[in-house]
Structure 1
Amino acid sequence: MEQSQTDRNPKTQSIPPYMKAISGSVGGVMEACCLQPIDVIKTRLQLDRTGNYKGIVQCGATVYRAEGVQALWKGLTPFATHLTLKYALRMGSNAVFQSAFKDSTTGSLSNQGRLLAGFGAGVLEALAIVTPFEVVKIRLQQQKGSSPELLKYKGPIHCARTIIQEEGIFGLWAGAAPTVMRNGTNQAAMFTAKNAFDVILWKKHEGDQTVIQPWQSMVSGFLAGTAGPVCTGPFDVVKTRLMAQSRDGGESKYKGMIHAIRTIYAEEGVCALWKGLLPRMMRIPPGQAIMWAVVDQITGLYEKRYFYSSAAL
C-alpha cells in the first residue's frame, strides 16, 4: 500500500513537458483538418459590416457557391501550422509553469496555481505563435474570389512577406493586446476546467495510472472549451478587426484595442462585439474535444509505459 501511494504521488508522477508538447502538436493537426471551414465562416462573419451574411449556414453556402468548396479551407496551411506550434507551446509551457507553482513539500498544485499556469501559457502562445499566424490567416480568409491572379495575397509566405514590406515587421503583431487577453483568459479557464471535469466526471488524476477513454476526454474537453468564447468574445472580434486592417500608407480605422471596442459599440451596437460567437462555439469546444482526446491518449500511453513499469519494479 505504501508503495502504491508513493507511485501515485503527483510530484514523482508528473508527465514531462516535452511529452505534453508532442501530444499537443498532434492534437492540433487533427483539430485544424476537421474544423477549418468553421473558422473561415467565423472570420467572414466577424468582418461583415454590411450584413451580407445572414448566419452560419448562409455564409458557408455563399462562400461555397461564389468561391468553391476549397475556399472553406482557405488559410489551412497557416492555421494547421499555427495550431501545431501553439498547442506544443501551450501544453509544454503550461507543464513547466505548473511545476513551478507546485507546492515544494507536497508536490500538489492549487487551483490558483493552475489558473496562473494556464494564463501564463496563454500569454506566451499569444505573443510567440498566435498573433503573427492569425494575422496571416485572417488576411488570407478575408480575400473574396477564386482567381489567384486577382488576390492580393497568393499564399501564407507571400502574405507574410507583403505585410512586412508594406507595414513593417510589427504588422504581423497587429491585434496583439486583445489576443493576449483572449488567450490568457481562455487557457486559465480551460486547463482549470479540464482538470476539474476529469476529476468530477471520471475520477481521473494525472499520474494515477489510469487512462480515460477518448470519448471521456472529448466530453471533458468540450465542456472545458465552452466558457472561453462567451467571456472573450469582444477580444476576439477586436483582434480580428485589428488584424484584418491593412496599414500600407492609409489611415487605420481602429487605433488600438480600446478604440476598436468603442468604435464597434458606437457604430454597430453591443451585439457586434459578440459577432461570430456561434461559429466560435461550433469550433472551439469541438476543437478542444478533438485535441484532448488525442492528448490524453498519447500521455496515457506514456503513463502506462513508464509509470506502470516503474510501479511494477
Structure 2
Amino acid sequence: MKALSGSLGGIVEASCLQPIDVIKTRLQLDRSGTYKGIIHCGTTITKTEGVRALWKGLTPFATHLTLKYALRMGSNAVLQSAFKDSQTGNLSHQGRLLSGFGAGVLEALVIVTPFEVVKIRLQQQRGLSPELLKYKGPIHCARMIIQEEGVFGLWAGAAPTVMRNGTNQAAMFTAKNAFDGILWNKHEGDGKVLQPWQSMISGFLAGTAGPVCTGPFDVVKTRLMAQSRSGGELKYKGMFHAIQTIYAEEGLRALWKGLLPRLMRIPPGQAIMWAVADQVTGFYERRYLYNAPL
C-alpha cells in the first residue's frame, strides 16, 4: 500500500512540475552564462524551442518518479519494520534516519540513476527539428547510450546520486514524521488521517532541507550524467574530480547552481506526493485495519 500511494503521488507530481526540472537541468549545465536566471531560462527555451520543450524528458521523468516513489515508500516501510524494537515496537530516531537513507540508496541505484541519465541527455538537447537531435526519444536515447558507452553508461553519476538521494530521504522521512507530530499531533500507526492540506504543509516543510544540503551532489550528478563517453576524453573523471574542477573553474557558488528551481520543484513535489500518499494510506488503514466508516 505504501508503494501504491507513492506511485500515484509521483504521477501527479511529474505532470505538474516537469518545466521546473527542465529549467534546473539547463541552468546546471550552463557554463557560458546563456541563461540569466529561472525566468530568462524558461522564456528562452519557450521562444527558441517552443512550449513543449519545457516538458522534454517527461516520459522518463514520470516513469522514474512513479517507480522511485513506489520503491522508496515500500523499502522504507520494510526497513522501518526491521529497525523497530522487537519488544516495544517503537522506532528510534536513528532507525528512522537509517531507514530513510537505505531507501534513498536503493532507489538511487535501481531506479533514479539510469532514468535521470536518459532524462538529462534529452533535456540538454536544444533545437526544434527532431532530425537534428541525437536522441529521438527515451528508448532511443537509452539504446544509443548502451551502444556507445556500454550498459554502465546508464549509471554515470551513480556515486553523487547515491549520496544525494540517501541524504535527502533520511532527512525527508524524519522531518515529515516530526512535522506531522509537531503540527497536527499525528503519529505513525495511530489511525489518524491528515487532511490533504495538512499533508501538503508537512511534506513541503520536509522537502526543503534536502536541496540545500545536497546541492553540490546534484550539480555534480547532472554534469557527470550529461557528458557522453563517446565524445573522447571526459572532462570530469568522477564525483570528487568534478567537485574540484567546478570549484576551480566556476567558483563555490557554482556547486549550488539550480538551487532555486530545485526549491521550486522538490518541496511542492513532496507536498503533492504526500497529500496523495497520506490519503491512499489512510483509506487503506480505515477500510482494512481499523474497519472505520469511510
TM-score in terms of structure 2 length: 0.99
Q: Distance in 2 between matches of 1:206 and 1:147?
A: 51
Aligned amino acid, residue 139 of structure 1: R
1:290 to 272, 277, 280: 272
Deviation at 1:134, TM superposition (A): 0.1
Q: Is the aligned partner of 1:268 residue 2:250?
A: yes
Deviation at 1:249, TM superposition (A): 4.9
Match of 2:152 in 1: 170
Match of 2:94 in 1: 112
1:27-71 deviations in Å (ceiling 9; x for gaps)? 000000000000000000000000000000000000000000000
Match of 1:161 in 2: 143
Match of 1:123 in 2: 105
Match of 1:299 in 2: 281
Match of 2:36 in 1: 54
Q: Distance in 2 between matches of 1:152 and 1:292?
A: 37
Q: Distance in 1 between matches of 2:172 and 2:164?
A: 12
Deviation at 1:205, TM superposition (A): 1.3
Q: Distance in 2 between matches of 1:153 and 1:32?
A: 21
Give the CA RMSD over aligned residues: 0.9
Of stretches 202-211 and 125-134 in structure 1, the one that deviates more from structure 2 is 202-211
Match of 1:181 in 2: 163
Is 1:131–1:173's contact at 8 Å kept on the other side of the alignment? yes
Q: Distance in 2 between matches of 1:162 and 1:209?
A: 49
Deviation at 1:229, TM superposition (A): 0.2
Deviation at 1:207, TM superposition (A): 2.0
2:80 to 98, 102, 106: 98
Identity %: 85
Gaps of 5+ in 2: none
TM-score in terms of structure 1 length: 0.93
Match of 2:50 in 1: 68
Cα distance change on mapping 1:54 and 1:249 into 2, 3 Å: closer
Aligned amino acid, residue 306 of structure 1: Y
Deviation at 1:307, TM superposition (A): 2.6
Give 4+ residue runs of structure 1 displaced > 6 Å after superposition. none
Q: Is the aligned partner of 1:42 residue 2:27?
A: no
Q: Is the aligned partner of 1:214 residue 2:171?
A: no
Q: Distance in 1 between matches of 2:197 and 2:28?
A: 32
Q: Distance in 2 between matches of 1:114 and 1:167?
A: 38
Question: What is the aligned length?
Answer: 293
Q: Is the aligned partner of 1:202 residue 2:181?
A: no
1:85 to 58, 64, 67: 67
How do residues 243-282 of structure 1 correspond to structure 2 at under 5 angstroms?
Answer: 243-282=225-264
Is 1:233–1:273's contact at 8 Å kept on the other side of the alignment? yes
Q: Secondary structure of the residue that 1:248 maps to in structure 2? A: helix
Match of 2:126 in 1: 144
